[in-house]
Copies of this chain bind each other. A is one copy, B any other.
């Protein structure tokens, strides 16, 4: 029995050895595949890696070349350090770090020398004590300053380098002679390293934070559009044509139903991109289609509205998955306007996204927004007309909820459209020929006297002027939006 088990063990061990290369190969293949996928998802990552390698090799020339080494000595090390620490993925990131590092080093170096001089006044005994106290106070104060949200967003790295340089200069001043020569060498090598990074990141396949932001916001609108265009099909028609392409996967292998989810957590990324793209609009110079003073901050507004829209979609999704089944009869009554509204919202968003991507005038989306409004009115008529006998509200509530939230989404899309229009004006998108009168001034339309189908602009007027008492406030104006958002709803409004 024992011999048998030993033999078995041996066989197992042998089999293990035999399968080991295969397993190793499989492991390596899977790692290689994930590398490949990472590179294919965004080929700029590969370029960036090579850029960093190139910058480092270039800077290490300081060491290899005899004349350069004689000039800089061991301080050349600081150039290597600078390149590694400062080189970021986006141009804005690299510039911000370079400038932060440069100015902080300069400032802290000067202060450090001053502190050394001041401490030396206290004699050989008192010098280390005074230096220690100065380092303690400055480090504590600067560390505290890093907690200010504004400082953290823009100058965190600078303050860090400030503490670093100040302590190093102040402390080493106590021992190292010829401190000024050393400081000069160090500053010049840092500038050299920083300049190398800046030049390489700007001139070799640059990755602009601003462009990333622009594309991210536009593609968020597209994701919302994809959901809304497919939504009607899923909610109302799913039982009828199951083989339709509503469940088709998009590029990332996720169902289109999930695409919008990534938008909900986009706030931090958008804010950091904005802060990289513009410090008083100056981190990144003008590039490609973007001028120096491109209104980057305006993207935050569009991004916030897109997130708002995504939250609504999340709730609609939850309602769809709800356990209460809506009455099919009622669903049938609101199906038409709901589907149309959702699809038109999707089309409007798609048009807005395209206009952003091509940086052309977004007025082609206006007709979609108008259609959305018309569909909203139709939905309201359908709701008014849908007085079912002995209505079971329990069965109606979920469908009514979906309808109501869709109305909110349509309003959101309208706001997004306004925000994109504002962006197009402030960023001077290319104008296309506009055939229609702009709908912002409805009061002109009121005096027309022509009977039109409900889907045109006049319908709009009646719809928006719900607050009867306040005639002079146009609900389209941005001020009114602001008031709406910042004020807690008053009892009357509720």
| A interface residues with partner B (beta carbon < 8 Å) | 34-35, 38-39, 45-46, 48-50, 52-54, 56-57, 60, 63-64, 69, 74, 77, 80-81, 84-85, 128, 131-133, 135-141, 143-144, 147-148, 160, 163-164, 167-168, 171-172, 174-176, 234-235, 238-239, 242, 247, 255, 257, 264-265, 267-268, 307-308, 311-312, 314-315, 317-325, 380, 383-384, 386-388, 390-394, 396-398, 400-401, 403-405, 407-408, 464, 466-467, 484, 488-489, 491, 493-494
Contacts and interface: CB of A to CB of B under 8 A. Distances in A.
Nearest to A404: B401
B147 A45 contact: yes
A81 B160 CA distance: 10
A489 B402 CA distance: 16
B391 A391 contact: yes
Contacts of A397: 383, 400-401, 403-404
**Interface on chain A toward B: helix, strand, loop, or mixed SS?**
helix
A171 B35 CA distance: 28
A394 B380 CA distance: 6
B491 A239 contact: yes
A143 B48 contact: yes
29 contacts: A45-B144, A49-B139, A49-B140, A49-B143, A52-B163, A54-B136, A60-B132, A60-B171, A63-B171, A77-B168, A77-B172, A80-B171, A85-B160, A257-B488, A264-B264, A264-B307, A268-B268, A315-B315, A320-B493, A320-B494, A321-B494, A323-B466, A384-B394, A387-B392, A396-B400, A400-B400, A401-B403, A401-B404, A401-B405
A417 to B, nearest CB: 17
B53 A136 contact: yes
Contact of A167 (B84, B136, B320): B84
A87 to B, nearest CB: 8
Given A401-B401, A404-B322, A491-B238, A64 B390 contact: no
A32 B308 CA distance: 37
Contacts of A163: 52, 56, 84
B408 A322 contact: yes
Contacts of A174: 63-64
